[in-house]
Chain A
Amino acid sequence: MNPVAAQAPAVRAAGIRAGYTADDVLRGVSFSVDPGQIFAIVGPNGSGKSTILRVLSGTMRPRAGAVEICGRALNTYDRRALAKVIAVVAQENIVAFRFTVLEIVLMGRAPHLGAFRFESPADLEIARDALERFDLLEFAHRHVEELSGGERKRVFLARALAQQPRVVMLDEPTAFLDLRHVAGIFARFRELAAERGLAVVATLHDLNAAAAYADRVMLLKEGAAVATGTPLEVLTEDNLSRVYETEVYVGRNPNTGALAILPSGRSQGRV
């Protein structure tokens, strides 16, 4: 048995309700993610995918329900303590001033450092490792604004890694990336999941990416989970047609056996 599987879940959410206005965006969502697991949250626009990440990262307070991170209630963490356990990579990332790639990645060490402390050789080694994993060593001196969208995305993934978290949350990590980079990024997180028991929670628009890279998938519709389980259990023609209100074809890649998901082209009415 995998030794990390015996530990407390990396994330446990029970009956979360949350919203921006009087209406709840999340209407009682429950799930748990084990260490070493890649967990994908899929669903149509507005189904509450990103809201879940905001609740888990402590940015948004849920109206009801309980969240535990590494066996400890979320609301017992202060900001710094939480930043040592959870790293978040937003869909879009801003950098207001000119910083080098290495400087951005070293910002991931901030929760571990005191106010006047400089980064130690150990911190630098952690940053170097993060840069190397995302193929960024040659870019370390460059300013972030000079990089392409895909390179920039990898900088923020490396920064998240430099936090040495137990859980990484990725909001639409495949946006703006081409297929090769998507595969590369998930391969890196797969390694980290195996090596360190890192848990990955990702919202994904791309159902094929969820099918290919996730251990478990939660399919959301209008703030509630329609199904949670392995990609094979969740990403069925039935479930997807119902949630996306359009006919969906689910087949197999003849070479790899992985699920292949396509819209069949026939809509069930709404645009």
Chain B
Amino acid sequence: MNPPETQLADLAAAHLTRRRMLAILGGLAALTALSAIAATAFGSVHISLARALTDPASPDHVIFFAARLPRVMMGIAVGAVLASVGAALQALVRNPLAEGGILGISGGGALGAIIALVFLARFGAGETLVPIFAFAAALLSTVAVYRIAEVDGQLEPFTLLLVGVIFNAFWGAAIMLVNSVVDFYYAHTILFWLMGSLEAPTWREVATVSVLGAAGFGVLMYRARDLNLLSLGDEAAAELGVEVNALRRTVFIATSVMIGAAVSVSGIISFVGLIVPHMLRLAFGSDHRLLLPASLLGGAAFMVIADLAARVVISPAEIPVGAITALCGGPFFIYMLRRQERRPLSL
């Protein structure tokens, strides 16, 4: 028989160690950095990175710092937020198909943002109120979707998805209603929210989503181990020391802050929170201490690449990046749903 030390070494490969976590996150950070460099270097206009960085008078410099860099930073922030929120919501509802866009939470947030912009902007406070209204509406949607899908304290997986579909349709209709009563000036903005786009961000917007996203993410990380325990069911998690109701409230609020921030700057971008955590879970396992930060980095890389595609595929025209993610995400969702049928959601 092996001495215990050898056995302990053997066991190290069967769970998440700090070393493995740092190696994976390092790799993903490098991937994100490479994507960001690629996305700043390429676009509908060819620029020289060397000239952009060395010659402040060149048009390359202007394109790099005024157009590409804020846009790539925005892609990083929004992608990071959406993917990590997806992972957290999936843990909360114990359903890998859950995601802010699919559950109608982003739609609710977008309606809140639009209401703040269209009806409150004339009082001069619109820009500050947009993320706050988006957060409040996202939180309202989250709690409503959760409570409606809950039957006898159990979340029926397919009921949850159906409720999300209904919420999406409902918020979409409400947004169209607002759209039909406002000035033409707002109509384009509203369309932009419905499609989801990273077009022409301001540094202020980048800062808003980064700060709020980082705050929400910090809270999620603090509860990462508790999210693991939630995989065993609410009762088992409670028996392992988790205050489940408090955890649920915390995740509701943190994810709503994050989705509200993302939606208020980029509109409804769906499926990022579905695709990215799913791939990472397949590759690296389900421990949320790794899955959350991995989704943060993976989501950033994914979004930057998707937005690069949005800019260059039919250049000089642009596709909204929300359309790109939905074109990838739709078939991906169907594929996951089909796999799910063969393998029950829980054991």
A residues near B (Cβ < 8 Å) are 57-59, 79-84, 86-88, 90, 93-104, 106-108, 110-111, 113, 115-116, 118-119, 121, 124-125, 127-128, 137, 140-141, 144-145, 152, 163
| Cβ contact within 8 Å between A96 and B346 | yes
Q: Determine if A95 and B235 form an interchain contact, defined as CB atoms under 8 angstroms apart.
A: no
Residues of A within 8 A of B91 (CB): 96-97
Contacts A79-B243, A86-B239 known; 14 new A-B pairs at CB < 8 A? A59-B238, A87-B239, A94-B346, A95-B231, A95-B232, A97-B91, A97-B281, A98-B281, A103-B15, A103-B16, A113-B225, A116-B221, A116-B222, A118-B289
Are A141's CB and B14's CB within 8 A?
Answer: yes
The 7 A-B residue pairs whose C-beta atoms are closest, nearest first, are: A83-B241, A96-B94, A97-B286, A111-B241, A80-B241, A94-B346, A102-B14
Does B242 belong to the interface (CB within 8 Å)?
Answer: yes
User: B285 near A: Cβ within 8 Å?
Assistant: yes
Query: Are the C-beta atoms of B11 and A94 separated by less than 8 Å?
Result: no
Residue pair A95, B346 in contact (C-beta under 8 Å)? yes
12 residue pairs bridging A and B, Cβ less than 8 Å apart: A57-B239, A81-B241, A86-B239, A94-B231, A95-B232, A97-B91, A102-B11, A102-B14, A110-B229, A110-B242, A128-B4, A144-B347
- Name which residue of chain B comes closest to A139, CB basis: B14
**By the criterion CB–CB under 8 Å, are B242 and A124 in contact?**
no
Interface string of B209-244 (1 = CB under 8 A from A): 000000000000111111011111101101111110
Chain B count of residues within 8 A CB distance of the other chain: 46
| Given known A95-B231, A102-B14, A103-B14, contact A125–B4 (CB-CB < 8 A) | yes
Residues on the A chain within 8 Å of B16, using CB: 103, 118
B239 partner residues in chain A, CB cutoff 8 A: 57, 59, 83, 86-88
Contact B238 A79 (CB under 8 A): yes
Q: Is the CB of B285 within 8 A of A94?
A: no
**Chain B residues, CB < 8 A from A104:** 232
Tell me the bound Cα distance from A90 to B347 in angstroms.
13
B343 at the interface (CB under 8 A from A): yes
Decide if B342 is an interface residue (CB 8 Å cutoff).
no
Asked whether any CB of chain A lies closer than 8 Å to the CB of B96, the reply is yes
- With A79-B241, A82-B241 as contacts: A118 and B347 at CB distance below 8 Å: no
* B 87-118 contacts with A by CB, 8 A: 90-91, 94-96
B contact set with A: CB distance below 8 Å: 4, 7-8, 10-18, 90-91, 94-96, 221-226, 228-233, 235-236, 238-243, 281, 285-287, 289, 343, 345-347
Residues of B with C-beta under 8 A to A108: 240
> Would B232 and A107 count as touching, CB distance under 8 A?
yes
Known: A102-B11, A107-B228. A94 touches B287 (CB 8 A): no
For A96, A113, A125, the residue with the greatest tally of chain B CB atoms inside 10 Å of its CB is A96
Contact assessment for A99 and B347 in the assembled complex, using a CB-CB cutoff below 8 Å: no
Residues in chain A near residue B241, CB distance under 8 A: 79-84, 110-111
Would you give the shortest CB distance from A53 to chain B, in whole angstroms?
10
Given contacts A107-B228, A111-B241, contact A94 B233 (CB under 8 A): yes
Whether B8 contacts A125 by the Cβ 8 Å rule is yes
Closest Cβ of chain B to A54, distance in Å, is 9
Which of B10, B14, B231, B242 is within 8 Å of A101, CB to CB? B14
Q: Give the nearest-CB partner of A81 in chain B.
A: B241
A145 to B96, CA, bound (A): 15
CA distance A96 to B230 in the complex (A): 9
The complex places the Cα of A107 from the Cα of B4 at a distance, in Å, of 21
Q: Are B15 and A119 in contact (CB under 8 A)?
A: yes
Query: Is there contact, CB below 8 Å, between B232 and A93?
Result: yes
**Cβ distance B155 to chain A, nearest Cβ, rounded Å:** 10
Question: Chain A residues with Cβ under 8 A from B11's Cβ?
Answer: 102, 124, 127-128, 140
Contact B232 A94 (CB under 8 A): yes
Q: What is the CA–CA distance of A208 and B7 in the complex, to the nearest angstrom? A: 38
